[in-house]
Amino acid sequence: MIRIVFYVALLATATAIAVWLANNPGEVMVLWRGWRVDTSVGILLGLMTASVLVILGIAKLIAIIRGSVDVFATARKDRRAQQGLTALGHGFAAVHAGQAVLARKYAKDSAALLGDSAATQLLRAQAAAANDDGARLRTEAIHLLEKPETELAALRALSARASKEGDIVGALNYAKRALARKDAPQWAMELVLDVQIANGRWGDALSALDSKIGRDHFGTANHQKLKAELLTRLAEEALGHGDAAAAENHAHKALDAGGGERAIIAHARSLMLQTKTKKAVTEIEKAWGSAPSAALLRTYLAAIPNESALEQARRVENLVSVNSDDTESRLALAEVSLKAQLWDQARNRLAPLLGEDVSKNVQARAAVIMAELETAEHKDTAAGASWLKRAIDRTEARGPETKSPRTVGDLIAMIP
């Protein structure tokens, strides 16, 4: 309504002006470069108004054309961005699918459409890794390392590449750089541990494990298990080098962390090397009460190397008294009784282990001792051979040979 009133008022005003000019035409003379134009004021004003309207029309047309160009450019830019994002997504999918050639193609396409952005650089780096192109990967990673947001991704790719190429020092350096950040990632911790464990650097692995991120990553239970295992391996390594004091220190810490049989044996052996035989014997006797084993028996017998067979038998009889009916206790006493020529005692200890209700491996171990017993006591080689055949028949297939751990996962799997 207001707009109609405005237009009516404007039209009335224009009409009034036109009538007034018609009643008062006046005269206008224009001289320009020898030209003379005579006209009225109304015509001059009309020409001027028409000129203004033409100029405004041209300006409007130019604005419309420019707007159309901008709209077209924006639409084209949006279309390229959409195509670039699609190529980017397909590229990352190809990387994860293991389609190396396709990943490289999409990386090139996305870079052409989106320019040299962090996302396209990351895709190019991952595509280079998928194509096993170490040189290209390092080139792309240089740009990613310059930005805090993409630094960790570059470090992970570089450390993985260094590990693949056997560059242990390089892999460690990249992972340690990642660990130095406040937002240190778990992969860096695992990679550091994997490299240290694969190379038998138990001390370095322990230092990494005891860091805050190590404790947070593995949780209390697994952290303690790993710590005990690494300390046990340090103790065994020290024993191999003849460093009894260091072995005792590591083994003691391993036991505090919940270490098992191997930690006990390492501690006992370290004590024996320092002529602390009584303490070593006491420790094994204490351990035998809860977890007897053949390995503990060997360590126990080695504590006093020059004693007679009869003295050994008496000492082992004392050792197994806390659980004399345990399978390992029976086998242990039978073994030393055989050496001491206590034939009846050896037979009595073995008898319950030869029945079919006993596991085959235990039957096999008992049968081996019986073979030695028949041969030693009665010189009956035929009976001995029969027992050996029985032992072979009942020996269960062993599992795959234990290999040195290559990763922290391997190490955890090897812990009893």
pLDDT digits (tens, 9 = 90+) for 121-176: 777 777 777 777 778 888 877 888 888 888 888 888 888 888 888 888 888 888 88
Residue with the larger pLDDT of the pair 180 and 38? 180
Q: Which residues, in sequence order, are bridge partners of residue 144? A: none
What type of residue is 328? E
Average per-residue pLDDT for the chain: 85
pLDDT average, residue stretch 87-92: 66
> pLDDT exceeding 90 applies to what percent of the chain?
42
> Residue 400: its pLDDT value, please?
59
Top-ranked range on mean pLDDT: pick from 31-40, 127-136, 296-305: 296-305
> Residue 156: its pLDDT value, please?
86
What type of residue is 117? S
pLDDT average, residue stretch 273-281: 94
Residue with the larger pLDDT of the pair 262 and 11? 262
> pLDDT exceeding 70 applies to what percent of the chain?
86
Q: Does the pLDDT value for residue 86 go beyond 90? A: no
Taking the C-alpha atoms of residue 310 and residue 340, their distance in angstroms, rounded to an integer, is 5
Q: Does the pLDDT value for residue 326 go beyond 70? A: yes
Q: Does the pLDDT value for residue 220 go beyond 70? A: yes
Q: Is residue 60 very low, low, confident or very high in pLDDT (cuts 50, 70, 90)?
A: confident
Q: Is residue 415 very low, low, confident or very high in pLDDT (cuts 50, 70, 90)?
A: confident
Q: Does the pLDDT value for residue 272 go beyond 70? A: yes
Q: Does the pLDDT value for residue 308 go beyond 80? A: yes
> Residue 247: its pLDDT value, please?
96
What type of residue is 5? V
> Residue 41: its pLDDT value, please?
63
- Are 137 and 154 a contacting pair, CB within 8 Å? no
> Residue 277: its pLDDT value, please?
94
Q: Is residue 365 very low, low, confident or very high in pLDDT (cuts 50, 70, 90)?
A: very high
> Residue 20: its pLDDT value, please?
66
Each domain of the chain, given as residue ranges in start order, spans 200-274
Q: Is residue 293 very low, low, confident or very high in pLDDT (cuts 50, 70, 90)?
A: very high
What type of residue is 281? V
- Are 134 and 159 a contacting pair, CB within 8 Å? no
Q: Which residues, in sequence order, are bridge partners of residue 38? A: 29
Residue with the larger pLDDT of the pair 223 and 124? 223
Residue with the larger pLDDT of the pair 257 and 396? 257
> Residue 404: its pLDDT value, please?
84
Q: Does the pLDDT value for residue 399 go beyond 60? A: no
Top-ranked range on mean pLDDT: pick from 56-65, 148-157, 379-388, 407-416: 379-388
For the four alpha carbons of 134, 140, 142 and 147, in that order, the dihedral sign comes to negative
> Residue 62: its pLDDT value, please?
86
Q: Is residue 402 very low, low, confident or very high in pLDDT (cuts 50, 70, 90)?
A: low
